[in-house]
């Protein structure tokens, strides 16, 4: 099993739709979780951190489920500009400061 797994998609949704992605991780001791966004032919940029209690930033909501070892990202009222690849990032304990990136989930929002 890969350390961090994501459905590559693409998720093809109309404007205004609600879409959710999951990301599973294999190390139950993982401590820190993040979502990054990567636009086509651009570098990744931090979208939001994922806290145990869940967190919300405008139309974006991130959740952590430790029991099932996954994190989720929910996007409400999708915009054309949300089209991008969403990367799940997991940081593990044990002195390693090297985060593990998932391969990303592609989202396409169409008119």
Partner 1 sequence: GAGVSQSPSNKVTEKGKDVELRCDPISGHTALYWYRQSLGQGLEFLIYFQGNSAPDKSGLPSDRFSAERTGGSVSTLTIQRTQQEDSAVYLCASSAFQDFPGLAGSSYNEQFFGPGTRLTVL
Contacts with partner 1 by CB under 8 A lie at 31-32, 34, 42-46, 87, 91-104
Q: Which neighbouring-strand residues pair with 61?
A: 56, 74
| Cα 33 from Cα 49, distance rounded (Å) | 6
Other CB atoms within 10 Å distance of the CB of residue 24: 19
CB of 63 to partner 1, least distance (A): 19
CB of 86 to partner 1, least distance (A): 12
| Cα 107 from Cα 83, distance rounded (Å) | 5
Q: Which is nearer to partner 1, 76 or 103 (CB)?
A: 103
User: What is the DSSP code (8-state) at residue 17?
Assistant: -
Q: Which is nearer to partner 1, 15 or 66 (CB)?
A: 66
Q: Which is nearer to partner 1, 26 or 76 (CB)?
A: 26
């Amino acid at each position: 099993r890969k350390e961090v797994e994501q459905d590559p998609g693409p998720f093809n949704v109309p404007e205004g739709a609600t879409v959710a992605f999951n990301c599973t991780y294999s190390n139950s001791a993982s401590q820190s979780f993040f979502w990054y966004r990567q636009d086509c032919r651009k570098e990744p940029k931090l979208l939001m951190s994922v806290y145990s209690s869940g967190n919300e930033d405008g139309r974006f909501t991130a959740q952590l489920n430790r029991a099932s070892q996954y994190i989720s990202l929910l996007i409400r009222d999708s915009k054309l500009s949300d089209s991008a690849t969403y990367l799940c990032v997991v940081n593990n304990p044990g002195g390693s400061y090297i985060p593990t990136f998932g391969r990303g989930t592609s989202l396409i929002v169409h008119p």
